[in-house]
Structure 1
Amino acid sequence: MLCSGTPWRTFRWYRGQKHYSGAYWSATTGNLVVYESRLELARVLFADFDPTVRGIMAQPFLLKSLDKGTVRRHIPDYLLLTDHGPMVVDVKPRHQQLSPVVATAFTWTRRAVESRGWRYEVWGEPPEAELANVRFLAGFRREWLFAPGLLGELLLAGLDGATITEAAGCLPRWPEPCVRAAIHHLLWRHDLHTDLTQPLQATAVPAQTLCRSRVGQRRFGSWPRWSGVIRCSG
């Protein structure tokens, strides 16, 4: 029921508003997910990139309860359906999380959510390099834009020890820009992975390791897997 619902509140866009609202097309759900700030957009990006997430719902329900004689109401920002069970997420800048009013609201929300056996997360600003990398890879998330044959050949190409620049030139019958984009798509869908805590560079300094991953198969199909690692900084 929650999966098919609409956001509890109406998202509004108007000239001069202080926050940044919008809608993001999610590769996980195949639908638009709304957000009310750039920080919420960042959380949606990370959820869409997470291979354990099956569903993303914005403002999924109104939580109402009597807490120590006070009637409390709260609409969480997101509900994520994951392989480990439902997780309720509130997004708030870290400096605002220190407010006693905000902390009290989140403490009550955590008790209510965890009493149902669900998980609860208060999410703040992520590391800048990691966010930049995930935002960049999200540009390659649309699977239908990539030739299945190209993706399959890349996964069988024996790229052990190659940089991304070298890997992009390993399939001469495919245009190099297409191969490079396909590598980024495989990174997005976790068929390949690298250390995203470091900026993805066009050069080989510093060297990074790109290797195969097993987690992408569940969501994105059953491409053949290859063994070995390649350096992913170029």
Structure 2
Amino acid sequence: MSDDAKALGPSVRGIDMVRVRYVDSQGVQHLVRWEEAADVPFENSRMVRAIPSHRDQGHMPGHYWVAKWGDFVEYESVLESKWLTLLDFDPHVTVFVTQPFEFDAIDARGTWQHTPDVFARRRDGSALLLDVKNPEQRDDPNVRMQEERTRRACERLGWDYGMVSEPSAQRWVNVDLLSSARRPLHLGAELVPRLLELAREPVEIGKLMRFMEFPDLARGVLYHLMWHRRIVTDLDRTLRETTLVKVAPEART
């Protein structure tokens, strides 16, 4: 047991009953026991609650355009939109939804309800649940209790769970840059074969651009290929003109 769980005391160490409330793709509301919830395709469900939007609220909701399937997903804050971008970029994640369901549970401390922020399904069929919290709130006792309760519920369901705050700074800067080129290519699509050919062996970004007749256009196409992981590099380091990039093995033709 983690030190955080011990600090919360014995009242959240056991969960007596967990039910899950969700709205299916047809708009029908369901309330199921946790034993049934593990088999529910929440990635196809509708949001279980509307995200509030009003003047002077402390966060900024909006819509994120998902490159994986070409549609919008609502988010509740700018911080949450960062994690949607990272999930969109993650090759192991096939689909994700926000406000996917509500836990309705009872433990030794009493009843509790919680609507997680994001449910994601991976290629191997496994599930990931995320709660996105402002880092200034992470030490709040109520937030810590919510995290522990949700984590234990996910353990029973066989899901991975994380309460996340700001992503890794350098990786986020890079992924955010590439996300600007995530939409389908129109202008510059004819440059793709040339870029893939030139990057069959590791090459510096600056040198790669010097091979191109229209380097400004080619850079945007390069970022598009990097977003879709057809050309790869180490995104935990600063992207520079001297950064080495290369075609991903699966993208070689």
Aligned equivalents of 2:142, 2:181: Cα separation in 1: 40
The count of corresponding residues between Structure 1 and Structure 2 is 212
Checking the alignment, whether the CA contact within 8 Å between 1:152 and 1:224 is kept in structure 2 is: no
Checking the alignment, whether the CA contact within 8 Å between 1:169 and 1:179 is kept in structure 2 is: no
Aligned equivalents of 2:107, 2:142: Cα separation in 1: 14
Give 2:225's match in structure 1, choosing from 186, 194, 208: 186
Aligned equivalents of 2:185, 2:199: Cα separation in 1: 24
Q: Which residue in 1 is equivalent to 2:45?
A: 5
Structure 2 letter corresponding to 1:151: V
Aligned equivalents of 1:40, 1:158: Cα separation in 2: 34
1:125 and 2:166 equivalent?
yes
Q: Deviations over 1:85-135 (max 9, x none)?
A: 111111112332222211111111111112111111111111222211111
The alpha-carbon deviation at position 59 of structure 1 amounts to 0.7
Q: Which residue in 2 is equivalent to 1:63?
A: 103
The alpha-carbon deviation at position 69 of structure 1 amounts to 5.1
Q: CA RMSD in A?
A: 2.0
Aligned equivalents of 1:113, 1:156: Cα separation in 2: 45
Aligned equivalents of 1:191, 1:158: Cα separation in 2: 10
Q: Deviations over 1:15-67 (max 9, x none)?
A: 22221110010112321111111110111111111111100100100111111
Q: Which runs of 5+ in 1 are unaligned?
A: 218-222, 226-234
Which one has a larger percent strand, Structure 1 or Structure 2? 2
1:116 and 2:151 equivalent?
no
1:75 and 2:112 equivalent?
no
Q: Deviations over 1:201-223 (max 9, x none)?
A: 3x43xxx3322324xx6xxxxx5
TM-score normalised by the chain length of structure 2: 0.77
TM-score normalised by the chain length of structure 1: 0.82
SS in 2 for 1:3: helix
Structure 1 letter corresponding to 2:218: V
Aligned equivalents of 1:224, 1:171: Cα separation in 2: 20
Structure 1 letter corresponding to 2:246: C
- The answer to which of 92-101 and 118-127 deviates more is 92-101
Q: Which residue in 1 is equivalent to 2:90?
A: 50
Q: Say if 1:87 and 1:96 are closer, same or farther in 2 by CA, change over 3 A.
A: same
Aligned equivalents of 2:111, 2:57: Cα separation in 1: 30
Larger Rg belongs to: 2
Q: Which residue in 1 is equivalent to 2:12?
A: none
Structure 2 letter corresponding to 1:137: L
Checking the alignment, whether the CA contact within 8 Å between 2:200 and 2:246 is kept in structure 1 is: no
